[in-house]
């Protein structure tokens, strides 16, 4: 039977922050997880906790210098942004043609945050016998999965339909003779003569595109009218087929359209993926109703032409895929592997949802609005931030205005709302003492020495009533 066993380490304050460089501004609390069930960890991250190896920590939000808000993306409704599509297209171009920008300025930089919560918890070793040897991982650059997208001002390629549109014109100019305008005609900007303004008796100028759409609609209505009056019935299916084809072609591409596209037979490179269970405090589970891979911690390996170039560490939990770390080869920084792997993990979450319907979120760690380089996570929309006081999810669009005025915010607008999972009965906290499981009320009576009630109360208030009654708090 799986069981969570933790040692609470208490508050840690007055140490250096890796986001704002404050020497003594960081405040957090933590506990060491000897083992942990996937459900307990799911409930903990939904209360603002996060793991780094076997160390599970939670920022003290109203006291730390850089409040770290848990952020989750909703993959079922996710649409890639222009910059996301650029990364995906760049990878496809590299795989198909071997194009790799090496000139400074052509590379989409991806500075990844190197801050670590606890160095002792950051050593990951591939344990599976099918994994690569440690010598193959030496050139990899080990980073937390704080994927930073640099802003890109380059415009995405315009659709052919838009490119072919003529400039804005007046209705009386949309005639056959208008196409005979000379390409060498010069635009002369002159000041209108007095009294020579727009003729209000004539219709205003309209775009040629709008006029053509109106004509097509009028023609379509005429065809439908003829069909109803007894014209050949095949006219309507043809029109509908044309409409469906066009509407399908105009739909925005999903990440799957970029990631799972077939490469040509003569592709310059081959990118493959493998997945293995990895060492973590999470106990692997494989229930019949769960995803095919089961629940637990996994290494997702990225192989390019037989060489490993990146390893992503993810936790597959009952309701989400939680991104933990990314190891990558710095020689392939030009591929923006942090962004690319995040998009692949979103697509992976969608795949898992098909088998496990409740698994429908992608957790990206912490959103830190006070640190500009960490705001990129808010670009994976739609997404939500966790209210640090009531632990309810609020759309990020509603949170950003308040974060502009204050680093620490309560996102829940209902001032009467409270933490529904707060500790109500301290005596029911489960304790592991001398290999015996007991409620805290019993342990308290047996305990010799000074009282530890303050520490246990602090622990229980942070993990919540449900987890405190399910997890085992180790007491020596």
454 domain-assigned: yes
pTM above 0.85, yes or no: no
269 and 350 assigned to the same domain: yes
Return the closest-CA partner of residue 148 out of 322, 298, 372, 421.
Answer: 372
221 domain-assigned: no
Cβ 329 vs Cβ 312: under 8 Å = no
pLDDT at residue number 276: 87
142 and 266 assigned to the same domain: yes
243 domain-assigned: no
68 and 26 assigned to the same domain: yes
pLDDT at residue number 197: 46
31 and 85 assigned to the same domain: no
Domain boundary among 350, 376, 392: 392
Per-residue pLDDT of the chain (476 residues; tens, 9 = 90+): 789 999 999 999 988 999 998 999 999 999 999 999 999 999 999 999 999 999 999 999 999 999 999 999 999 999 999 999 999 999 999 999 998 765 444 444 443 332 223 222 223 333 333 343 333 443 344 444 444 333 333 333 333 333 334 334 333 333 333 333 334 333 344 444 555 444 544 555 666 777 777 777 767 666 654 544 444 434 334 444 444 545 556 678 899 999 999 999 999 999 999 988 898 999 999 999 999 999 999 999 999 999 999 999 999 999 999 999 999 999 999 999 999 999 999 999 999 999 999 999 999 999 999 999 999 999 999 999 999 999 999 999 999 999 999 999 999 999 999 999 999 999 999 999 999 999 999 999 999 889 999 999 999 999 999 999 999 999 98
Structural domain total, the chain: 2
358 domain-assigned: yes
Return the closest-CA partner of residue 300 out of 321, 285, 270, 269.
Answer: 321
14 domain-assigned: yes
Q: Are strands 430-433 and 472-475 parallel, antiparallel or unpaired?
A: parallel
Return the closest-CA partner of residue 438 out of 474, 465, 463.
Answer: 474
Residue 83: domain span: 75-150+257-392
Looking at the DSSP bridge assignments, the partners of residue 363 are: 72, 322
Return the closest-CA partner of residue 333 out of 160, 94, 171, 131.
Answer: 94
69 and 86 assigned to the same domain: no
233 domain-assigned: no
Cβ 471 vs Cβ 4: under 8 Å = yes
224 domain-assigned: no
Domain boundary among 392, 409, 432: 392
276 and 344 assigned to the same domain: yes
66 and 80 assigned to the same domain: no
Phi, psi of 423 (to 5 degrees): -70, 130
344 and 280 assigned to the same domain: yes
264 and 136 assigned to the same domain: yes
86 and 136 assigned to the same domain: yes
DSSP 321: E
178 domain-assigned: no
59 and 94 assigned to the same domain: no
283 and 366 assigned to the same domain: yes
pLDDT at residue number 100: 77
pLDDT at residue number 203: 55
Show Cβ contacts of residue 360 under 8 Å, excluding neighbours closer than 6 positions. Answer: 74, 75, 76, 319, 320, 349, 353
Cβ 46 vs Cβ 273: under 8 Å = no
Show Cβ contacts of residue 27 under 8 Å, excluding neighbours closer than 6 positions. Answer: 11, 12, 13, 14, 59, 60, 63, 64, 65
Domain boundary among 330, 358, 392: 392
* Spatial distance between the Cα atoms of 213 and 215, rounded to a whole number of angstroms: 5
Cβ 229 vs Cβ 221: under 8 Å = no
* Spatial distance between the Cα atoms of 297 and 295, rounded to a whole number of angstroms: 7
Strand, coil or helix: 131: coil
């Amino acid at each position: 039977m799986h069981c969570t066993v933790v040692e609470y380490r208490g508050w840690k304050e007055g140490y250096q922050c890796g986001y704002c460089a404050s020497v003594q501004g960081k405040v957090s609390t933590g506990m060491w997880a000897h083992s942990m069930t996937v459900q307990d960890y799911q409930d903990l991250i939904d209360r603002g906790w996060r793991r780094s190896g076997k160390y599970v920590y939670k920022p003290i939000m109203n006291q730390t210098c850089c409040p770290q808000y848990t952020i989750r993306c909703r993959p079922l409704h996710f649409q890639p942004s222009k910059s996301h599509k650029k990364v995906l297209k760049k990878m496809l171009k590299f795989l198909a043609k071997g194009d790799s920008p090496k000139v400074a300025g052509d590379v989409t930089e991806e500075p990844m945050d190197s801050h670590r919560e606890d160095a002792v918890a950051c050593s990951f070793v591939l344990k599976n016998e099918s994994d690569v040897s440690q010598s193959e991982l030496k050139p990899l650059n080990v980073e937390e999965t704080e994927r930073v997208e640099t802003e890109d001002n380059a415009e995405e390629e315009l659709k052919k339909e838009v490119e072919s549109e003529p400039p804005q014109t007046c209705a009386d100019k949309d005639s056959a003779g208008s196409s005979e305008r000379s390409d060498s005609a010069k635009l002369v900007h002159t000041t209108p003569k007095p009294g020579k303004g727009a003729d209000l008796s004539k219709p205003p100028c309209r775009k040629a595109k709008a006029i053509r759409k109106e004509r097509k609609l009028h023609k379509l209505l005429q065809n439908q009218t003829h069909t109803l009056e007894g014209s050949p019935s095949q006219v309507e299916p043809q029109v509908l087929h044309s409409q469906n084809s066009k509407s399908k072609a105009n739909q925005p591409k999903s990440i799957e359209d970029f990631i799972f596209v077939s490469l040509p037979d003569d592709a310059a490179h081959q990118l493959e993926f493998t997945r293995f269970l990895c060492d973590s405090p999470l106990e692997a589970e494989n229930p019949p109703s769960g995803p095919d891979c089961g629940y637990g911690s996994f290494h997702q390996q990225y192989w390019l032409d037989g060489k490993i170039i990146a390893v992503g560490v993810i936790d597959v939990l009952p309701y989400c895929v939680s991104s933990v770390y990314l190891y990558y080869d710095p020689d392939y920084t030009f591929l923006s592997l942090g962004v690319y792997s995040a998009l692949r993990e979103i697509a992976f979450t969608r795949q898992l949802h098909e088998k496990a319907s409740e698994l429908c979120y992608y957790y990206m760690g912490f959103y830190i609005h006070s640190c500009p380089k960490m705001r990129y996570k808010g670009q994976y929309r739609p997404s939500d931030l966790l209210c640090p006081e009531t632990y309810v999810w609020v759309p990020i669009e509603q949170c950003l205005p308040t974060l502009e005025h204050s680093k620490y915010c309560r996102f829940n607008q209902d001032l009467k709302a409270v933490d529904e999972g707060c500790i109500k009965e301290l005596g029911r906290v489960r304790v592991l003492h001398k290999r015996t499981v007991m409620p805290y009320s019993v342990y308290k009576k047996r305990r010799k020495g000074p009282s530890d009630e303050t520490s246990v109360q602090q622990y229980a208030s942070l993990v919540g009533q449900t987890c405190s009654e399910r997890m085992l708090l180790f007491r020596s």
